[in-house]
Amino acid sequence: MPVLWLWAGLGERGTNAPRRPSGYADFLALAFAGLCFTGDITLWHLSVVLTSVANSTLLVNLAPVFVALGSWLIFGERFSTTFLLGMVVAIAGSALLVGRDLALDTQNLSGDALALLAAAFYGGYILTVSRLRSRFSTPTIMVSSGAVTCVALLPITLLSRENLLATTVYGWAVLLGVALISHAGGQSLVTYALSSLPAAFSSVGLLLQPVAAATLAWALLGEALGIWQILGGVVVLFGIVLTHRGIGGGRTREEHLPVTERRPVDDGN
């Protein structure tokens, strides 16, 4: 949060200062994004201890399905057959990546259900942020929604009876890596990208995460890549290419708005 606050403060300097939230509607929308992210983080971490990591990873990666469903039901967006086919192919590729470790066990159902619910929350987060990007800059959204997430996660963390602070240098290094690289860096880039990319396509593009994780584990940790993992990565990439080709096949209610109401906010970058 300090890094994001500093970024937001620097972005407000000069003549192109971004719009700041005002009124209940703005604060409620930003708070909703933070609560959706809270649900995603909480449920995913709970699911990992109740089911296999492979099951949890695969089910959380079903977020694109919820984004597409929400875009259709809430915003009236329609998708081309090519886009839908690409989404299915990309998800199938994710299944291949973790397929050998998937465990079908009735004892894991609670963990599987939590992971699936986490995907729904992340889908809600992506949809909300994609709409907020037409009004607010990336640092404004990250700071506002992040503050809500911090407040909401505090009682959940206290109830977990785990330490709030790391006890070793290695633990602090891991936390700083997650905070600065994954959240302040990665989530900010996702938010920035949503200013010019459809939410549904962006969520499918995020299926590159398990591909990148497997590649980094091979390059940095020496973990071997099996034939199924390599094939799964290729299938994910092919699915993303298909969705990119199919993103122009639908129309949304937003297309009927004046251009000035649809133009994304300039982050000043």
**How far apart are alpha carbons 215 and 233 in whole angstroms?**
9
pTM score: 0.81
The two most distant CA atoms of the chain are separated, in Å, by 59
Q: Determine the pLDDT at residue 13.
A: 62
Q: How confident is the model at residue 168 (pLDDT cuts 50, 70, 90)?
A: very high
Residue with tokens 């606050």: 5
| ∠ CA 138-83-129, rounded to 5° | 20
Over the chain, what is the mean pLDDT? 82
Cβ atoms of 98 and 210 closer than 8 Å: yes
Q: Determine the pLDDT at residue 261.
A: 43
Q: Determine the pLDDT at residue 18.
A: 62
Q: How confident is the model at residue 209 (pLDDT cuts 50, 70, 90)?
A: confident
**Percentage of the chain with pLDDT > 90?**
32
Mind listing the pLDDT tens digit for each residue in 2-38? Answer: 999 998 887 666 545 567 777 888 899 999 999 999 9
Give the CA distances from residue 165 to residues 115, 154, 171, 176, 183, in Å, rounded to whole numbers and listed in that order. 26, 12, 9, 12, 18
Cβ atoms of 104 and 154 closer than 8 Å: no
Residue with tokens 């009004």: 135
Mind listing the pLDDT tens digit for each residue in 75-96? Answer: 888 888 888 899 899 888 888 8
